[in-house]
Structure 1
Amino acid sequence: MVIHITLGAMRYVNPKEDQLGRDHVGWDPNMDDEALFRANRGCWVLGERADREQYALLSSQGIVRQAIEIDRLVPVSGGRRAIEGRFLKDGHPVYDAYVGKPQPIEPTRNPVTYFESPHAARTCGCGCGAPVTLGWFLPGHDQKALHDRVAKIGTVHQFIEWFDRTYAEDNRTMSSRIIDITPHTNDKSACSAHGAAAECTTLIADVVLSDAGSEHVEWAVCARWLRENSDAAAWLKAHPEAAALLDVS
């Protein structure tokens, strides 16, 4: 099965109220893949059924606009969940099969649906290479995979200590982490945060960030985003030498 999500037109939301701190959601023809993914990877009603799925499609106006490979689903407030993963590109079989083509399922009132796809097949998560049709493992192979990994650390006690220490140091969330903000020089001509349709004022900064989708993402952003994004404001406050090079008034 593949998750299918129907999007509405792009609309602005209050980032202080949105579970992921976004200021817009939905689809617009001028949004690039990065903007589309970050605006719409959450927040959806995704039950246990979704945990078995590897791919999700985003559609709007009857056409598939993006294909996503799912790493995991994470909870957000309100009992909903969001996707951590990456958007696919030309050359991937799921992208080639669906993106830019009519959506593979009839519209329903529920924006989240599922459909059978030959591209949804996966192999056992233990690494044995055997195909699975339900869940992530063949019967018993989840325990084998777990014990193999524990043995690489040492005893069960040592594994628990290692896990707790590592998890505390790297407890990721859906929020992006800003690495650097510099005056705009890259080749992007539309605001990566809002998309071209928002008709933002002149782009003034390039932002390098990392998140669940990638360790290195480059954005070009407008002054409005720098003023209104709390993470950007905090970063610039902590780096006054960088803030001095930008006009965010």
Structure 2
Amino acid sequence: MIHITLGAMRYVNPKDDQLGRDHVGWDPNMGDEALFRANRGCWVLGERADREQYALLSAQGIVRQAIEIDRLVPVSGGRRAIEGRFLQAGHPVHDAYVEKPQPVEPARNPVTYFESPHAARTCGCGCGAPVTLGWFLTGHDQKALHDRVARIGTVREFIDWFDRIYTEDARTMSSKIVSITAHANDKNTCSAHGASAQCTSLIADVVLSDAGSEHVEWAVCARWLGENPDAAAWLESHPEAAARLNAS
């Protein structure tokens, strides 16, 4: 989590300020909106900041505001500003820190970082484990990558597939569902979530077509089938297939 120490409120020239502000810093009479707008930038935020979901603003040793980060945007001078929203009472991060002593020791640098259990996210590989720093547990990024390569075939086949369907301009890969039937193919791992997710029951085979191939065959679990809007729409428009799937 990012922690930012604020000084006392001071006035600045809007013509010189990178965000057009006329004041920065903290004052006890500031409301949440004013505090956020005055202090969302401009900070020296390194690479670690890109992996953080929340930031705390502290003044006089007390946390004054918690912010949920949407993204960090560059401003001049190599600094960045936070785009997001301040949190209110009832959010676990707000309730854990706001109006309580700051969770880090004072430092010369106004921007510091600390690990917080309240900033945990689920590991990006799909294993379900919480992570408080970055997007993956150590080594799980490679597991996630290899799981996805295995869905296509060999590394060479994956590269050929990726190069065929990757669109440099749009940077999107679109797939269309051709059919959904009861699971009967030889796949024993959920193609949507990968081996690390350990989906316990595969219930359907899904044939997809995309820019790289007219026939990509998946085996999927009940969760994917229930949560995927394209699958729900396909089954709604093919009631006979949906009935056969439900009967299996």
Per the normalisation by structure 2, the TM-score is 0.56
* Structure 2 stretches lacking a partner, 5+ long: 152-160, 173-248
Q: What residue in structure 2 maps to residue 74 of structure 1?
A: 73
Matched residue pairs, number? 157
- Contact 2:117/2:132, CA 8 A, preserved across alignment: no
Q: What residue in structure 2 maps to residue 22 of structure 1?
A: 21
- Aligned partner (choices 163, 166, 178) of residue 156 of structure 1: 166
Greater relative contact order (Cα < 8 A, sep 6+) = 1
Distance in 2 separating the partners of 1:88 and 1:143 = 38
Q: Which one-letter code corresponds to 1:40 in the other structure? A: N
- Contact 2:116/2:132, CA 8 A, preserved across alignment: no
Q: What residue in structure 1 maps to residue 141 of structure 2?
A: 139
Structure number with greater Rg is 2
Residue 108 of structure 1, CA deviation: 1.5
Q: What residue in structure 1 maps to residue 120 of structure 2?
A: 121
- Contact 2:25/2:39, CA 8 A, preserved across alignment: yes
* Structure 1 stretches lacking a partner, 5+ long: 165-249
Residue 18 of structure 1, CA deviation: 0.8
- Contact 1:125/1:142, CA 8 A, preserved across alignment: no
Q: Which one-letter code corresponds to 2:119 in the other structure? A: A
Residue 156 of structure 1, CA deviation: 2.1
Instruction: List, as ranges, runs of 4+ consecutive aligned residues in structure 1 with deviation greater than 6 Å.
Output: 142-145
Q: Which one-letter code corresponds to 2:103 in the other structure? A: P
Q: Which one-letter code corresponds to 2:120 in the other structure? A: A
Residue 163 of structure 1, CA deviation: 5.4
* SS of structure 1 residue aligned to 2:170: helix
Aligned positions of 1:87-126 closer than 5 A: 87-125=86-124
- Contact 2:125/2:141, CA 8 A, preserved across alignment: no
Per the normalisation by structure 1, the TM-score is 0.56
Residue 33 of structure 1, CA deviation: 0.7
Aligned positions of 1:183-194 closer than 5 A: none
CA RMSD of aligned residues (A): 2.9
Distance in 2 separating the partners of 1:143 and 1:26 = 47
